[in-house]
Amino acid sequence: MSETQNISMIENIKSIIRDVPDFPKKGIIFKDITPLLASPETFRETIRLIAGKYKGRGITKVLGIEARGFILAAPIAVELGAGLIPVRKKGKLPYKTVSAAYALEYGEDTLQIHEDALKNGEKVLIVDDVLATGGTASAVCRLVEQLGGKVESIAILIELEFLKGRDKLSGYELFSLIKY
């Protein structure tokens, strides 16, 4: 596809994402990607446009962040010929884990990864649907580094620029397909 076709496809993807006001609580505008996932062409093109950025970069593992990150990370991993690693909320993974705590609006939460998920020096792509404050993605960077992996890049479908999550991730490459 030409660059012009890619730009119009990105506009298409943006237009199909649904804003749900006051979910899960008042004041939050939830970016609902289910209409995008339900559209075969838009879903396929979303994966193609993200994975296309990373071909030939030696990425061997794609990390998906629970839960919507899994949906995007799995086909991206297949496209790149890489393995898929789930990063999950505390208590969900069955084997031995390492953990990273991160701040929420009120209080904190913990993400976990299997302790044998990465080999030393392995190149990792982190994938999630939305970047808001950046707390989640920066906790996942810490998990990768605790296991001796290298964060090659962070790929996000939707970046909420006004929340400045990118500032928490300085020092890492960050690509987002759609920005608000």
Residue 32 CA to chain centroid, in angstroms? 15
Question: In terms of DSSP H, where are the helices of the chain?
Answer: 3-16, 34-38, 40-51, 68-80, 135-146
Helix 68-80, helix 40-51: angle, nearest 10: 60
Candidates 24-32, 52-60, 74-82, 93-101: pick the segment binding ligand AMP (CB under 6 A).
Answer: 24-32
How many residues belong to the chain?
180
Nearer to ligand AMP, 60 or 137 (CB): 137
Contact, 121 vs 149, CB < 8 A? yes
Candidates 28-36, 43-51, 71-79, 84-92: pick the segment binding ligand AMP (CB under 6 A).
Answer: 28-36
What's the min distance (Å) between Cβ of 35 and ligand AMP? 13
Active site residue 79: no
11, amino acid identity = E
The DSSP letter of residue 169 is: G
Nearer to ligand AMP, 59 or 174 (CB): 174
Q: Is 149 in the site for ligand AMP (CB under 6 A)?
A: no
Q: Is 136 in the site for ligand AMP (CB under 6 A)?
A: yes
Q: Is 65 in the site for ligand AMP (CB under 6 A)?
A: yes
Residue 89 CA to chain centroid, in angstroms? 15
Identified binder of ligand AMP from the candidate list 31, 61, 123, 166, rule CB under 6 A: 31
What's the min distance (Å) between Cβ of 47 and ligand AMP? 17
CA dist., res. 72 & res. 84, Å (int): 11
Nearer to ligand AMP, 86 or 135 (CB): 135
Annotated catalytic residue, options 11, 41, 105, 115? 105
Number of other residues whose CB lies within 10 A of the CB of residue 5: 10
CA dist., res. 82 & res. 64, Å (int): 12
Active site residue 105: yes
Identified binder of ligand AMP from the candidate list 10, 14, 30, 79, rule CB under 6 A: 30
Number of other residues whose CB lies within 10 A of the CB of residue 127: 29
Binding residues (CB under 6 A) for ligand AMP: these are 28-31, 65, 68, 128-136, 165
Question: Annotated catalytic sites, by residue?
Answer: 68, 105
